[in-house]
């Protein structure tokens, strides 16, 4: 069904939800239901409004994405420039490091030569000092050794003299003690001989009296009767006491 020019939509390019919601349609016999058309237009207006809102959100999102893309592109450009600069700096650093290493090697070689010369001079000086010190120590050792030999000889003489004096003293003391003990031993032996003689005489008398007065067959002999005492018993006792 065609519309009259007064019933056609406005000629502007886009419609807003408000235009759709307030759109008026003229009445006509046998036409559409105004309430249904109004409800439908309200739904259309709501959907259009939602679509417009979504489109606005999408545009905002697109703007954000485009801005983020631009930022990332700028970051990539900066990173690329930084990488190029880093490569250039690395190349420069390698060249500088190479030159620095060569310079350090040259300086180290020069320093080593100087140190070698100083070490050789110091070694010669120390060797000379060592020789002088060795000579001094050798002279001191010889002097000290001579002193020690003299002291040792003196101590040996004193020890021999003291040993000789001690030997003479011990020999004299031993001889005196031996003479004293020999005299005492002679006295003891004489007393022991006299005692043995008296004991034997007593035993002889006792035996005769027993045989004379006791009946035949009885033996009342004293313990040890008839047993001879060794004459050298006191001698062994005295020798054991004075060993």
If one compares 47 and 3, the residue with the highest pLDDT of the two is 47
Q: For 208-242, write each residue's pLDDT tens digit.
A: 888 877 665 555 454 444 444 444 444 444 444 44
Helices (H), the chain: 17-21, 34-213, 233-241
Is residue 186 situated within a structural domain?
Answer: no
Residue 216, in any domain of the structure:
no
Arithmetic mean of pLDDT over the chain = 79
Among the listed residues 191, 193, 200, the one whose alpha carbon sits nearest the alpha carbon of residue 222: 200
Examine residue 91 and state whether it is found in any structural domain, yes or no: yes
Residue 33 lies in a domain: yes
Residue 190: inside a domain, yes or no?
Answer: no
The total of structural domains in the chain comes to 1
Q: Taking the model in full, what pTM does it have?
A: 0.29
Q: Does some domain include residue 51?
A: yes
Closest to 121 measured CA to CA, from 133, 132, 131, 129: 129
């Amino acid at each position: 069904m065609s519309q009259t020019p007064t019933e056609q939509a406005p000629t502007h390019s886009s419609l807003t939800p408000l235009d759709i919601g307030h759109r008026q349609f003229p009445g006509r016999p046998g036409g559409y239901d105004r309430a249904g058309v109004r409800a439908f237009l309200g739904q259309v207006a709501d959907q259009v409004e939602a679509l417009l809102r979504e489109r606005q959100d999408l545009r905002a999102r697109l703007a954000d994405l485009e801005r983020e893309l631009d930022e990332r592109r700028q970051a990539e450009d900066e990173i690329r420039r930084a990488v190029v600069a880093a490569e250039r700096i690395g190349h420069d650093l390698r060249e500088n490091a190479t030159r620095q290493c060569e310079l350090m090697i040259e300086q180290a070689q020069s320093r080593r030569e100087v140190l070698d010369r100083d070490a050789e001079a110091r070694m010669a000086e120390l060797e000379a000092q060592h020789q002088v010190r060795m000579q001094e120590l050798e002279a001191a050792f010889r002097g000290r050794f001579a002193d020690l030999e003299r002291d040792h000889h003196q101590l040996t003489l004193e020890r021999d003299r003291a040993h000789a004096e001690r030997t003479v003293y011990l020999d004299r003391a031993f001889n005196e003690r031996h003479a004293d003990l020999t005299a005492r031993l002679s006295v003891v032996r004489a007393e022991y001989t006299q005692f043995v003689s008296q004991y034997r005489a007593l035993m002889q008398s006792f035996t005769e009296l027993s045989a004379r007065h006791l009946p035949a067959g009885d033996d009342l002999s004293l313990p040890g009767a008839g047993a001879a005492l060794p004459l050298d018993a006191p001698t062994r006792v005295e020798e054991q006491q004075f060993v």
